[in-house]
């Protein structure tokens, strides 16, 4: 197996250098892509990671400053290298980036930066895959792992009047820390984990008022209870019947969580695991409960429209915040890359993941496009090893 390692920031090799021996191409240099490449290497397979940015872990480098994993260090390591104990139980954003850099070095991964793949097609001879990449390059590999990430393209709803808003409107992807918002009235839209944590960050960082626009009331869990992480429970129940987990989850939240109905966050009327199966992960409390109970973060109705300096809410309320931060999620944006192959469902998600390939696209693998209750990094690691074992058997 060739052992030419291209580190982040290295010059882009010519196509002929990349395509010798038809490697497995891994699209994306985040945790999912790096894990897949390392697992393939451990199986004696050559894998070339193509990353459009200048460094591995690009999306992690852009996250807000205070972010920590909501999954434990122990259950967040990728194949072949544990996260250092000095990172603590809840690993910070900066330490995740350090880990990904060390992971690339430790496994001597072949990473080529500055290469963006725009389309994947069957190779003309029918025995592999052709990738169309930056500068008109065409690369041919025997298999492809798509690992471009769950949080790929920021999504801001096309609210009526959005373009007329005279205040600041940004997506959460552009939020770094509360310093620019000190003394300001800020509306955070969306009460997933990102929106909840940004709202707390703003409150602690000196914003004069923080409101949190809620369309669907979330399930909120303690990150850990008596030392036992919520992720551990997620791992234990992930294969149990949905209705059973819904009932158990309802009982657990009633015992462990205060009723915030008077503050604008009533208990959800749908089950926790039913929500997970529909793509909504519970919010892990990193200060939101206390902030809402104390009135320092105020839940309000969902945003309906904008009008000059005002935001119209679903209950008819009209507010005039200085800034709006939209924690409204991301798109997978896989349509241009593989949509023509018939491998996506109606919501733009891959129809299979891990060691399985679409029936009509053998040799095309996907990882990192779900947000499981058991922890994304843990499942990325498991997917990587399944993909590597499958490809080793087909060599």
The CA distance from 150 to 63, in Å, is 14
Distances (CA, A) of 194 to 173, 307, 326, 386: 9, 26, 10, 30
Give the pLDDT of residue 8: 41
The residue from 308, 326, 344 where one domain ends is: 326
The pLDDT of 248-269, averaged and rounded, is 89
DSSP β-ladder status, 117-122 and 129-133: antiparallel
Is residue 101 scored above 70 in pLDDT?
A: yes
Q: Do 164 and 135 lie in a common domain? A: no
Question: pLDDT tens digit string along 119-136?
Answer: 999 999 888 999 999 988
Is the pLDDT confidence value at 14 over 70? Answer: no
Last residue of a domain, one of 280, 307, 326: 326
Measured CA to CA, the distance from residue 191 to residue 354 in angstroms comes to: 29
Question: What pLDDT score was predicted for residue 13?
Answer: 43
Residues 59, 189: one domain?
A: no
Q: Is position 3 within any domain?
A: no
Distance of alpha carbon 99 from alpha carbon 95, whole angstroms: 6
Residue 312, pLDDT score: 98
**Is residue 5 included in any domain, yes or no?**
no
Among 54, 53, 83, which Cα is nearest to 68's?
A: 83
Task: Name the domain count of the chain.
Answer: 2
Residues 237 and 386 in one domain: no
Examine the domain organization and report whether 100 and 204 are in the same domain.
Answer: no
Tell whether 1 is covered by a domain.
no
User: Is residue 131 situated within a structural domain?
Assistant: yes
Residue 53's pLDDT band, with cuts at 50, 70 and 90, is very high
pLDDT beyond 70 at 9:
no
Q: Tell whether 105 and 181 lie within a shared domain.
A: no
194 and 308 belong to one structural domain: yes
Round to whole Å and give the CA distance between 378 and 78.
7
Report, as an integer, the average pLDDT of 259-266.
Answer: 93
Residues 257 and 272 in one domain: yes
Of 326, 345, 367, the domain-final residue: 326
Structural domain range at position 234 = 156-326
Q: What's the length of the chain?
A: 395
Count of alpha carbons within 13 angstroms of residue 178, beta-carbon side: 23
Rounded to 10°, the helix 93-106/31-42 angle is 30
Q: Verify that 26 and 59 share a domain, yes or no.
A: yes
Shared domain for 179 and 295, answered yes or no, is: yes
pLDDT > 80? residue 4: no
Residue 4: inside a domain: no
Question: Do 381 and 301 have their domain in common?
Answer: no
What is the reported pLDDT for 207? Answer: 98
Query: Is the same domain home to 195 and 287?
Result: yes
Q: Is 10 part of any domain?
A: no
Buried b / exposed e along 68-97 (16+ C-beta atoms within 10 A): bbbbbbebbbbbbbebeeebeebbebebbb
- Residue 238's pLDDT band (boundaries 50, 70, 90)? confident
Distance between CA 23 and CA 38 in Å, rounded? 13
pTM (2 d.p.): 0.90
Task: Render pLDDT for 347-388 as a digit per residue (tens, 0 to 9).
Answer: 999 999 999 999 999 999 999 998 888 999 999 999 999 999
Q: Tell me if 212 sits within 8 A of 298, measured CB to CB.
A: yes
In a domain, 300, yes or no: yes
Judge contact between 34 and 59, C-beta under 8 A.
Answer: no
> Would the pLDDT of 67 be above 90?
yes
- Higher local confidence (pLDDT), 238 or 157: 157
As a whole number, mean pLDDT of residues 88-115 equals 97
Give the model's pLDDT for residue 2. Answer: 38
Residue 279 has pLDDT above 80, yes or no: no
Query: Region 267-286: what's the mean pLDDT?
Result: 88
CATH code for the domain of 197: 3.50.50.60
Dihedral angle computed from the Cα positions of residues 293, 297, 302 and 307, in that order, rounded to the nearest 10 degrees? 150
How far apart CA 212 and CA 264 sit, in angstroms, is: 10
Q: Once rounded to an integer, what is the mean pLDDT over residues 65-70?
A: 95
Tally of CB atoms within 10 A around 18: 23
Alpha-carbon distance of 60 to 49, in angstroms, equals: 17
202 with 254, same domain: the answer is: yes
pLDDT score recorded for residue 21: 67
Give domain status of residue 9, yes or no: no
């Amino acid at each position: 197996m060739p052992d030419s390692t291209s580190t982040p920031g290295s010059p882009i090799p010519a196509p002929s250098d990349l395509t010798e021996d038809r490697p497995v191409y891994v699209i994306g240099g985040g945790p999912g892509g790096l894990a897949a490449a390392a697992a393939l290497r451990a199986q004696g397979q050559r894998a070339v990671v193509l990353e459009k940015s200048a460094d591995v872990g690009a999306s992690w480098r852009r996250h807000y400053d205070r972010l920590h994993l909501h999954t434990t260090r122990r259950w967040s390591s990728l194949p072949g290298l544990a996260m250092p104990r000095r990172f603590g139980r809840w690993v910070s954003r900066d330490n995740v980036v350090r880990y990904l850099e060390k992971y690339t070095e430790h496994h001597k991964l072949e990473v080529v930066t500055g290469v963006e793949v725009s389309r994947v097609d069957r190779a003309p001879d029918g025995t592999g895959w052709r990738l169309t990449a930056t500068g008109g390059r065409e690369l041919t590999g025997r298999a492809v792992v798509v690992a471009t990430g769950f949080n790929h393209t920021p999504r801001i709803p096309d609210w009526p009047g959005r373009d007329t808003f005279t205040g600041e409107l940004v997506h959460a992807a552009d939020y770094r820390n509360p310093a620019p918002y000190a003394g300001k009235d800020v509306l955070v839209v969306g009460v997933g984990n990102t929106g909840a944590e940004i709202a707390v960050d703003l409150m602690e960082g000196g914003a004069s008022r923080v409101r949190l626009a809620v369309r669907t009331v979330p399930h909120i869990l303690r990150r850990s209870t008596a030392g036992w992480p919520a992720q551990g429970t997620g791992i234990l129940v992930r294969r149990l019947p949905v209705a059973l987990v819904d009932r158990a989850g309802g009982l657990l939240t009633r015992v462990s969580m205060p009723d915030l109905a008077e503050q604008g966050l009533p208990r959800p009327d749908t089950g926790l695991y039913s929500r997970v199966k529909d793509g909504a992960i519970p919010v892990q409390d990193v200060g939101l409960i206390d902030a809402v109970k104390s009135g320092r973060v105020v839940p309000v109705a969902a945003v309906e429209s904008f009008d000059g300096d005002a935001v119209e809410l679903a209950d008819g309320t009209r507010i005039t915040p200085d800034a709006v931060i939209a924690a409204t999620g991301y798109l997978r944006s896989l349509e241009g890359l593989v949509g023509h192959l018939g491998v996506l469902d109606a919501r733009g998600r891959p129809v299979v993941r891990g060691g399985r390939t679409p029936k009509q696209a053998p040799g095309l693998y996907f990882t990192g496009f779900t947000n499981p209750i058991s922890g994304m990094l843990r499942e990325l690691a498991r997917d990587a090893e399944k993909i590597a074992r499958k490809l080793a058997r087909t060599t």
